[in-house]
Amino acid sequence: MASITLTVNGATRTVEAAADAPLLYVLRNQLGLSGPKLGCEMAQCGACAVLADGEEIRSCVTRAANVAGRSIVTIEGLAAVWAEQRGLDATEAAATLHPIQQAWIDVQVPQCGYCQSGMMIAAADLLERNPTPTEADIREAFSNTPPSPHLCRCGMYPAIIEAVQRAARAMAD
């Protein structure tokens, strides 16, 4: 066992875990963050995606110990990222979702929902790098960005594209 200190959704958390414990296990089982999902456990589906310093990583194949010192954001922390970027006060922040989350609701993207935490994390990564993506950019980001495409067994890809475009417009306002 090792003592691992992580920064997750803006808070410093120390856990006792196996030295090779996957970040996903620590997030879900020790920190109670159930947004990231266990799918393939092989970096091949995207269900477990989280942000590390704003960049998407696959938490199923990332050792928790290897991201100590990086800022980890799960879907549970996405609204706070937006609140900080926009300088919202505590009251406003408590009532405001990230535009990506709001777009997902407005478009009614999820069917079963299992993949959608990872999809929104991928959207956050994309819109940070490219605030005005074309449809081709969105398809490229979700389909051809290593280590693998983000997979949705329910086939909600058209709705995901629409929601990313909607979120981009909202974030530009």
Q: Which residues bind ligand FES (CB under 6 A)?
A: 38-41, 43-48, 58, 60, 110-116, 152-154, 156
**Distance of closest approach, residue 82 Cβ to ligand FES, in angstroms:** 23
* Single-letter amino acid code for the residue at 10: G
Q: How far is the CB of 129 from ligand FES (least distance, A)?
A: 20
Closest to ligand FES by CB, 94 vs 112, is 112
Determine the angle formed by the axes of helices 78-86 and 116-129, rounding to 10 degrees: 30
Measured from the CB atom, is 18 or 40 closer to ligand FES? Answer: 40
- In the bound state with ligand FES, the residue whose beta carbon lies nearer, of 9 and 62, is 62
The residue written with tokens 């959608």 in the block is 116
Query: Which of residues 65 and 160 has its CB atom nearest to ligand FES in the complex?
Result: 160
In the bound complex, what is the minimum distance in angstroms from residue 156's beta carbon to ligand FES?
5
CB 8 within 8 A of CB 74: yes
- Cβ proximity to ligand FES, 41 vs 140, nearer residue: 41
Q: Which residue type does 138 have?
A: I
Kindly state the tokens that stand for 171.
């974030």
Nearest approach in angstroms of CB 159 to ligand FES is 9
3-class state of residue 64 by DSSP: helix
In whole angstroms, the minimum distance from the beta carbon of 83 to ligand FES comes to 26
